[in-house]
Structure 1
Amino acid sequence: MDDINLHYRFLNWRRRIREIRDVRAVRYRDRWRNMFRDGDMLRYHGDSDEVGCFVSGRPLSKKRRYFEVTVNDTGVRGMIAVGLVPQSHKLDHQPGWLPNSVAFHADDGKLYNGSTVGQQFGAKCCRGDKIGCGISFDSDDGQITVFFTKNGEEIGSVEIPASPEDLYPAVGMHSLGEEVVLDLNADWRAEEDDGQMIVDSHEEDWSRLHDVKVTGTRLVAALQFRAEKGQKQWKLGFSVTTADCLGIAQRSWIQWFYRKTVVRREQMGEGARAPRTRG
């Protein structure tokens, strides 16, 4: 009897696993209409009176917060739209036309934010241009910042009341000959100064470090300190040997940096001399 019960439990477990897989398959399935898709290539496939729309099956997230579209052909009118929509977005409408959707349209350079009336946002796009769209998680008031790029440069942003899990990458088309290449795994990083280690201060609270460059046996670093009050800025460059680096493990890096700062400023004759700390 126990063997029979275990057998039925096993069968129920396998059935439950299949049901979960089927639900996930439907949830994360890409949707498109009036388009021909071949891998990452999307081409308009309609009569120009109907909108063609593609919606990704997966929303944006912190690990996947940006996607990009390369315009292979603008077709007759170049009515290509790139943006974000809810999962239930109707495929017979361009991204940005319906509520809770936002998109940049390549034919007129306008931003459409839940309306069929757009606002001037950037320049028109042509063949070979790359249009990107991403989200920022900096806001804490329930708003999501959606930004757009063209050929690797940000052209603007807009805040919308939405959560990341409700924003799905979407591409719209509306004329014969339009064709794009979609990259849902594109990478977007703001420009940073190479070879610099940046330390931000919020009223004497050191928050983060960036690039550190090692050359041979010497650690070469440039530190930039920014004071929030007074908007005063100064930079300090120095180099230390690997023996000095070993000392960092024996004391906090803040104490180590403070000692180096005091010594350097004394050598340069800048400001009052602060007392040195012992290691």
Structure 2
Amino acid sequence: NSVITIESKCYLPDMKVGPVDELTETYVREYTWNIFCLYTDLLEKVLKQKNIIYLQTGEAPTDLANLSVGCKHTWKHIPGKANQSICTMCNKCCDQGRKCKYNRIMGNNLRECLCKTSSPGCVDCGICIECAADLWSIRSYLRPMPITEKNSKVVKIEKVEVKPSDTTEDKNVQKKVTPEETNNVFLQIPLDPVTFNELEYQHISGGNLGVVLKEIDDGSCVSIFPGKATTLSTDTDEQKISDRIKVLMKQATDSKYKSTVGESLKLRITDPFKLITTGEDKLEISGIQESRVVYHASICREMSVSHESGLLCYNSASHSVPVAQFIGPKPFSENLKKISLKIIDCGDKTNIGIGICPGKAYPVNRMPGWNRWSIAYHADDGGIFIEAGAANSHVVKCTKGDVMSVFCDVVSKQLVFYKNDQEVKQIKINIPRGGYWPMIGMHSVGECVKLLEKDPWTPDPDDIPPKPASFKTYKYGNLWISPARNVSLTKKGYTANQCGWMLLHNPTKVLIGYKITPESLVKRPVGSISPNDANTLFLTKTSIIKEDAVTIQWIAIEQVKEYSTDQILQLFDAASSSSTYTHRLGLLIKDTALGDVETLPKFQDLGSTSGDGASPVKQDGYKLEVFKNCILVDSYLLKRGRYILDLVDLDNTKPDYIIKRPKCPVSFNSNF
């Protein structure tokens, strides 16, 4: 038997001095892994083409995905900067390749072709479009249209009335099923006009399904099918979304807007107006790096996580302030016994809870401890909640800076809660079928905690859940800013105020001083960030604030100590322009009050530059095509954004379906 062994190693010095620090190892590890995957993919393709049967084994990192295709490429010429125009992969001119008369002759800057082309390589990895297409071809050949099968059944949760006690062993309970306790989770399968622009699903059995696209940044929803594509409110209540889709289904008189079991539906998003290549789209990610998923969750509702810092923030797109839930990717076991969090911001009410629950079956809009098979410790009143909406007992309260922990021993059946490593409550428990799962809940605007361990949020390799909602990060050398481009401000309650999060993470060993303008947006417009730490800034835009952007300025401070606001401002005045950094974030205002639905404009009805409809007038959006059984139903103008797919169970049945995820752009070269 023949054996081919591929091993990837990279030397790193033991001493972390100069440009080599803690982050260097992370970057090198990810880069080495990507190159390793590239080689294994090439070898695997050759073996398949030669019809060689092989057994593939190896040791691969469980926290890294196969990214042999590299990053989410963006080919854009940045004026005033040295643009790489010699491909990182083929080492040829990114514009004309071998045909360039200056091919392999370097210009004035490193990796710059002497031809001075305005068609550079990817702003992130430097690869040319031709090489990226080759990589996509290899990846598509090896992994053609991965299929995900999912049962979207509505889970009915038993609501249990329990007697106040310190145990879950009481068997004399009244059980009833309430219609509002249904569970419908966004699948978080991405759709965009760059990389993941096509998706197909087939309805296998069960009742009617509604197809919804949810915009990641502002939370808006678009009902795609059945009926005509229509914008919905940003309220994330699944029942309201389901009711609106049912109305659209009844209004659809043409059979092409309806589907039955066995039929398939395909969605495709393209960029016919070249918004991305002209730099007009907010999806431009020059300098923005995808975050490696560190904190996974089987359920992530109304929250966003920062994978760089471990910060978990209440971040709902709804003005009604629903309960936010973060449920771990695996249950407690002999190897997993404890989770901890540190309260970073108390928000309006410090409605923060930590505890255990039965996993994915836990109903929406419920704090930990409120329902059956759930026990929790709440920060606001120090309440210990045991399967009830009211606390069974009270211990010490928690506030900003406190650490809350839960210890769950599945062998001894002991549950222990801690505040700052001091035991506050011990409870004897029975382990339900499926086990107890870690859970964190929040229920007021402005709340934020820091996850203190990584292992509880690391899934088993064979059961990796969808990526939780996370903050996009702009990674400068000495400051990481989340979100990367725009802060989505959402109306909260019945006030006129719009609120949203901004996170500043310092990955260096020095102090970072910052100042924010306009100052009235945040409580701490001037401050400092400790080495390897992060600051959370909760933005509140009132009606008197007219600016549509927030500006962050920062400087590196060598001496690590406490500085007053005046001292930091003096350091800014003394700093040179070359040592002062600036980043600007747009403010996206979104009124989340429920409004009337609006049908998307059809693409064929757009105005034409030539009058014959062949060349539509340039629009501020993408082209969305809907196919049923491979026949075009309609094409629409979809607003710019980043979308994820959801399938909504409309009849409270148990529909089964198969989803075929995108493998690569349908019209790869035409989009760039």
TM-score (norm 1): 0.54
Once the two structures are TM-superposed, the CA of residue 79 in structure 1 deviates from its matched residue by: 0.3
1:158 corresponding residue in structure 2: 427
Which residue, 296, 299, 305 being the options, matches 1:37? 305
2:339 corresponding residue in structure 1: 67
Name the SS for the 1:123 alignment partner. Answer: coil
Higher helix share: 1
Q: Distance in 2 between matches of 1:73 and 1:85?
A: 24
Q: Distance in 1 between matches of 2:418 and 2:358?
A: 21
Q: Distance in 2 between matches of 1:86 and 1:95?
A: 10
Once the two structures are TM-superposed, the CA of residue 64 in structure 1 deviates from its matched residue by: 1.5
User: What is the identity, as a one-letter code, of the residue corresponding to 1:52?
Assistant: A
2:166 corresponding residue in structure 1: none
1:120 corresponding residue in structure 2: 393
The number of residue pairs the alignment matches comes to 170
1:243 corresponding residue in structure 2: none
Q: Which runs of 5+ in 1 are unaligned?
A: 1-6, 188-279
Name the SS for the 2:344 alignment partner. Answer: strand
CA deviations over 1:211-270 (Å, ceiling 9, x no partner) = xxxxxxxxxxxxxxxxxxxxxxxxxxxxxxxxxxxxxxxxxxxxxxxxxxxxxxxxxxxx
Q: Which runs of 5+ in 2 are unaligned?
A: 1-50, 56-141, 152-186, 188-295, 457-672
1:100 corresponding residue in structure 2: 373
**Where has structure 1 moved over 3 Å in runs of 4 or more?**
7-11, 184-187
User: What is the identity, as a one-letter code, of the residue corresponding to 1:49?
Assistant: V
User: What is the identity, as a one-letter code, of the residue corresponding to 1:36?
Assistant: S
Name the SS for the 2:345 alignment partner. Answer: strand
User: What is the identity, as a one-letter code, of the residue corresponding to 1:155?
Assistant: V
User: What is the identity, as a one-letter code, of the residue corresponding to 1:67?
Assistant: I
1:268 corresponding residue in structure 2: none
With over 3 angstroms needed to count, the CA separation of the structure-2 counterparts of 1:48 and 1:127, relative to structure 1, is farther
User: What is the identity, as a one-letter code, of the residue corresponding to 1:43?
Assistant: C
Shifted more, 72-81 versus 159-168: the winner is 159-168
Once the two structures are TM-superposed, the CA of residue 137 in structure 1 deviates from its matched residue by: 4.3
CA contact (8 A) 1:68 1:186 kept: no
Name the SS for the 2:334 alignment partner. Answer: coil
User: What is the identity, as a one-letter code, of the residue corresponding to 2:378?
Assistant: H
CA contact (8 A) 1:48 1:174 kept: no
Once the two structures are TM-superposed, the CA of residue 173 in structure 1 deviates from its matched residue by: 0.5
Which residue, 107, 125, 145 being the options, matches 2:414? 145
CA deviations over 1:134-165 (Å, ceiling 9, x no partner) = 112453xxxx2111000011111112221595
Q: Distance in 2 between matches of 1:164 and 1:146?
A: 17
CA contact (8 A) 2:352 2:380 kept: yes
Shifted more, 34-43 versus 168-177: the winner is 34-43
TM-score (norm 2): 0.23
Q: Distance in 1 between matches of 2:54 and 2:371?
A: 46
1:171 aligns with 2:444: no
Which residue, 50, 56, 76 being the options, matches 2:322? 50
Q: Distance in 1 between matches of 2:433 and 2:423?
A: 20
CA deviations over 1:68-122 (Å, ceiling 9, x no partner) = 0100011110000000111121232101111001110101101111110112231
With over 3 angstroms needed to count, the CA separation of the structure-2 counterparts of 1:132 and 1:186, relative to structure 1, is farther
2:348 corresponding residue in structure 1: 76
